[in-house]
Amino acid sequence: MLVFPNAKINIGLHIVEKRNDGYHNIESVFYPIPLQDALEAVVEPSQATITLTTTGFEILGNSNDNLITKAYYLLQKEYPQLQGLHVHLHKAIPMGAGLGGGSADCAFFIRLLNQLYALELTSQQLHNYAQQLGSDCAFFIANTPAYATQRGEVLTPIKLNLSGYYLVLVKPNIHVSTAQAYAGVSPKPMTVPLTTLIQQPIEQWRDSITNDFESSIFVANPLLSEIKEQLYMQGATYAAMSGSGATVYGLFKKEVDLEHLFAPHYYY
């Protein structure tokens, strides 16, 4: 079985407060985009468990720490019929990009297991499994525009359609750790809810919808600030960093070719 996990962008990202469990409550809009990995699973009766191979962008770390492997073992505890399985993942969504690629792979894999083994899990059950594995994993179960709160796992569907816009993604060779990103922000509630701001014409987003991580991360990595400014100079209606970076995206009313500007970076 073959599926194509897609990425997402954050439109606005506010750190509302630090929780007692060490995590942070956030406010953001998650929007799915058509940048995709490829994930294939084949039942291998001769195997006792899962094997995972990868191509494309390098995935660092032990395969047992991969969210796909963790998802397999999480479900196998309750569904022992999940036996031998060979999984191959081709990474086209860059790692550490703020695009949710790993979370998408995880959620799509849970959905794949549900279908492959006829587990008959409901959407809510799939959501519950996904949120145990990562804060934004659950978003990719429904995979539709949503207002995200708490750690990012509490999702409220919203009406938002960007199909008339062209999206440009620029990912420089910069890694921003999650710990570094959160260390640079001071949590505070928004005076105007993001659900209100997102209803404005997109032309007004530039002056009202922000990513709290940008101020400190741009100081530490001025190239990201330069990329954002360049996107605006080239006519972007709205530009921002996604998540905690390091991808910066721009929404354009017409198709543009900016490869000559961003050739040293991953450009989509």
CB 74 within 8 A of CB 95: no
End-to-end CA distance of the chain: 27
Cis bond before residue 246 (omega within 30° of 0): yes
| Other Cβ atoms closer than 10 A to 147 | 20
β-strand pairing of 154-157 with 146-149: antiparallel
Per the rule left: phi > 0, alpha: psi between -120 and 50, beta: everything else, 49 is beta
Give the active site residues. 8, 136
Tokens at 229, concatenated? 């400014």
Give the C-alpha separation, 100 to 10, whole Å: 10
Measured distance CA(32)–CA(154) in Å, rounded? 16
Phi, psi of 265 (to 5 degrees): -115, 170
Query: Which backbone phi and psi does 106 adopt, to 5 degrees?
Result: -60, -50
Task: Give the residue among 27, 35, 42 at the shortest CA–CA distance from 8.
Answer: 35
